[in-house]
Each structure stands twice: as C-alpha cells, then as structure tokens.
Amino acid sequence: MLATLPIPILVVLLAQAEPAPAETSAPPQAEAAPAPTAEPAAGAEPAPEPEPPPATLAPAKLEAKQDQREPSDGEPNMMFGFRAGADFQLSGDVSPKVGYSLSPFFQYTYARLADRLGLGVRAEFTFDRFQKLVTVQADMGVDQPPQSYQSTRTLSFFDFALLATATLHLGRVQPWVAAGMGLTLGNFQTPEKEYESVGSHATRPLVLGAGGLDLAVGRGVLLGLHVEYRNMLAKPSFLANHMEVFGDRLSVQAGLLYQF
C-alpha cells in the first residue's frame, strides 16, 4: 500500500511520525557570591572621619556684626586733603579782620556703622595769615618834620590739631562734622609805635569745631566746602594798650580730597 502512495505524500507522513526533540532547560544560574571584603591590615589606622561643615551665623547675628564691622579692604578708609579759603577774625582789637587760610590734612576711618556712618580721626595743619598796608610816622628828630612811609602789618597763625570725625555716606554726597583740640602759634608784626608794647608771639591751646559737605566727582576724588571755627584758649592780654591781638577765627574753605 505504501508503494502505491505518491512520493510527496509519503515524505509528509514520515515527517509527522518522527517525535520532536526534547527541550532542554538551562540549569538555574547560581547566585553570585558576595565579593570577599578585604580585612584591614594589622596595626593600620582607620580612615579619619570627615569634619562637619562650619556652623553658619544666624541672620540676626550676621546683620548685627555687619552693622559694626570695620572697613574692609575694598572700602576706602584713608583720606588726604588740601583746603584753601578765606579766614575771618571774629574777635580781637587789631585789624585786619580778613585773611586767607591753607590747610592740608590726613584722615583715617576706623569704623563704619550700618554702611552709612563712618567714624574717624583727622590730623590737620593750618596756616592763617592776615595782612594790611599801614602808614607809619617816622620821627626824624627835633629839627626835622616827621615823615611817613608805607609798611605792612601782619598777623599769622600756625595751628596743629587732632579731631574726631563723623561722616554720613549718602551715595556721592558725604556730609560730616568734627571737633578736637590742638595748639596754635600766633605771630604779630608791625613797625607802628602804638603797638610796641604788644607781644609779638603767643603759644596757646586751641579748641575747634568743623563741618562740611563733600561730593564725589571721580574714582576716589572729592570736592568739598568746609567751615571751621577756632578758639585760642587763655588769650594773652595787653594791659598797657587794653587790646586783644589774637582773636577767634572762622575759616570758609574749598577742599580737594582723595580717598584710598
């Protein structure tokens, strides 16, 4: 019967009669063993533990510390200035009453409060001079008529002072006040006979107060208008003439300043 079947049908029947190969299942993978840990060598020191981060200040304490901090390296805390202007004698019996004043100074700011108020110290030297042209009567003798000639009467002061300053920083505008003490050297010179008994030199302690307004115009450069009052303590008196030569003074000066 098989011989009578066609060959293609016979091939198909034989293929269906063969058993399918048994499926082989892969053995389960063994669980990975934990890697052995290296034991520390005998006598080796353990690794140091990391240091804790530094504690930060509370905001309130930080603000209080900033309010009373000293000037940082980025803030100008030193100043050099030069002033020149008019000087007025407010007291005294000898004219002239109007002169001129020159004053270089150096200032150091040691504290800044709330980024606005700067406290400092200032050392200054001031030269004041009053000058007047006078007519002097010269005594030529008994038989000669008196003759007159022109000469100069001068009154000058050399002041050395140390002041405490307070400056308010309002952007480019910086108003300030100052007060202090020092020493003044007064010198009076004239060829007039009526002043022969007047002492020509006087050295006395000095008190002074000042104020002004500075305006920043460039990198570290300021222009200012300053007013200063000076009072010589224990003024010398000249009883023979009942006059006072060295009086109180008021200076109004323009200043050129540089901060660094």
| In the chain, domain spans | 76-137+147-259
Q: Whole-model pTM? A: 0.67
Reported as a single tens digit per residue, the pLDDT across 78-90 is 999 999 999 999 9
Task: Supply 40's token pair.
Answer: 């520390």
Instruction: Report the amino acid identity of residue 249.
Output: R
Instruction: Report the amino acid identity of residue 205.
Output: P
Q: What CA–CA distance (Å, rounded) separates 113 from 70?
A: 8
Helix residue spans in the chain (DSSP H): 7-17, 59-67
In the prediction, which pLDDT does 248 show?
93
- Three-state DSSP at 123 gives strand
Reported as a single tens digit per residue, the pLDDT across 213-224 is 999 998 999 999
| Those residues with Cβ within 8 angstroms of residue 82's Cβ, 6 or more apart along the chain or in another chain | 102, 103, 104, 105, 255, 256, 257
Q: Strand pairing partners for 215?
A: 173, 223
Task: Supply 87's token pair.
Answer: 């000087």
What confidence category does residue 191 fall into, taking pLDDT thresholds of 50, 70 and 90? confident
Q: Are 83 and 125 in contact (CB under 8 A)?
A: no
Q: What CA–CA distance (Å, rounded) separates 148 from 146?
A: 7
Q: What is the DSSP string of 48-82?
A: PPPPPPPPPPPHHHHHHHHHTPPP-TTS--EEEEE
Task: Supply 141's token pair.
Answer: 């003798």
Reported as a single tens digit per residue, the pLDDT across 21-77 is 545 454 545 454 455 555 555 555 555 666 666 555 455 554 545 444 555 555 778
Q: What CA–CA distance (Å, rounded) separates 178 from 122?
A: 9
Q: Are 175 and 212 in contact (CB under 8 A)?
A: yes
* CATH, domain range 76-137+147-259: 2.40.160.20
